[in-house]
Amino acid sequence: MGNELDLLGQWPFPREELEKMKEGVYIPREKILRFIHGKKNNTRIDFYVSNDLFHVGKMVIPAKGSSDIEVHNGDEVIYVLKGTLNTRIYNNRASKTSVINEGYLIYEDEKFLIPRGLKHRYFNFDDEPIEFLLAVASWKNSNSIIQSREDENRAKDEPEFGLSIPSWQGKYPFSPEEKKPAVLRKQDAISMIYGREPDEIRCYIYISTDEITLSDYWICPGAKFSPPDIHTGDEFYYVRKGTLILTNPDTGRTYEIKKDEAFLIPKNIWHQGFNFGNENVQVLTIIAPSLWSTEERGTEIAYTKKPVRFTGRLQA
């Protein structure tokens, strides 16, 4: 038996295997890579995915607990699932003994961006454990920045609707040059309607840097999104509400992903989601490095800018 730590970077499968499989990977509880994290302060981390593009896991901080200080070579995004997360961001220029640092409060269902290279620490000041999804873009993925700059230049000449990458891709809430920590609340989301009549669904984009994108989408009971989707990065799904039925239209393989379960859709794999249940399905999605490129996009998109507006069968 090898060391569990050796599995980091190739969980649930190394890239070569994913490429051979040409299929998504269902990640139920039994397929989670679990660790105790931290030297001084112990937290729990459940990794769903750890590969060459991103590391995605759920962190649990016990009541009145905290993490060690950490720093990553990639942008980090957070989605708070349970409780209220306090974070402290250390000013890299401040002296080591400084007692004053910026703090951020992230409530349940809110999102947080920590740009690469910033030292940070998580705190739980409450009596209940807190849980949050976190994803860190992989530092190995150095061409993502170049890619998004190319797209940016091209996007200037393209119409706002129709076949185009959306104007926010790679630069929300900040462009690569201006990135800083940010808490993203519901009202900060960019609303996007994905799909073609009558199969539109609503999506909200919270964070889209040149390395990683965090969003969620909703499917009403009995609905689906169409056409199927495909991305230039790996996509991680976490079902927050309801039961998602997900199919790969290329192979016909179909999966049932229940609340609090996860799924990995490797890059360039088609996927289409359905809701056969009687409550809304909410799926949190994290994509690294990029959603769509103007070269390889396989899908038509139309999106709306703020303010958020819904029509017809799209319901709250």
Binding of residue 131 to Fe ion (CB under 5 A) = no
Burial class of residue 220 in the structure, from the number of CB atoms within 10 Å of its CB (0-12 exposed, 13-18 middle, 19+ buried): middle
- Decide if residue 46 touches Fe ion (CB under 5 A): no
How many angstroms separate the Cα of 63 from the Cα of each of 40, 79, 127? 16, 18, 5
State the Cα–Cα distance between residues 116 and 98, nearest whole angstrom: 21
Stretch that binds Fe ion, among 75-83, 145-153, 195-203, 225-233 (CB under 5 A): 225-233
Indicate the SS3 state at residue 95: coil
Choose the stretch contacting Fe ion; rule: CB under 5 A; options: 104-112, 160-168, 198-206, 224-232. Answer: 224-232
- Could you tell me the smallest distance in angstroms from the CB atom of residue 299 to Fe ion? 9
Of the candidates 84, 69, 88, 86, the one whose C-alpha atom is nearest the C-alpha of residue 128 is 84
Nearer to Fe ion, 216 or 229 (CB): 229
Number of continuous H segments (helices) and E segments (strands) in the chain: 2, 20
- Lay out the site mask for Fe ion across 133-162 (x = CB under 5 A, - = otherwise): ------------------------------
> Binding to Fe ion (CB under 5 A): which residues in 166-195?
none
Query: Based on CB atoms, which residue is closest to Fe ion, 44 or 240?
Result: 240
Per the listing, tokens 């399905």 go with 281
| Residue (179 or 240) nearer to Fe ion, CB | 240
| Comparison of 171 and 297: residue with beta carbon closer to Fe ion | 297
Identify the CA nearest to 26 among candidates 237, 182, 268.
237
112 or 237: whose CB is closer to Fe ion?
A: 237
In whole angstroms, give the CA distance from residue 84 to residue 64.
Answer: 12
229 touching Fe ion, by CB under 5 A: yes
| Total binding residues toward Fe ion, as defined by CB under 5 A | 2
Choose the stretch contacting Fe ion; rule: CB under 5 A; options: 50-58, 150-158, 175-183, 234-242: 234-242
Q: How far is the CB of 229 from Fe ion (least distance, A)?
A: 4
Residue from 264, 259, 222, 254 nearest 243 by CA: 259
Q: Is 216 in the site for Fe ion (CB under 5 A)?
A: no
Residue 234 within binding range of Fe ion, rule CB under 5 A: no
Query: Among all residues, whose Cβ is closest to Fe ion?
Result: 229
**Torsion angle defined by CA atoms of residues 102, 65, 57 and 84, in that order, rounded to the nearest 10 degrees:** -60
Binding site for Fe ion (CB under 5 A): 229, 235
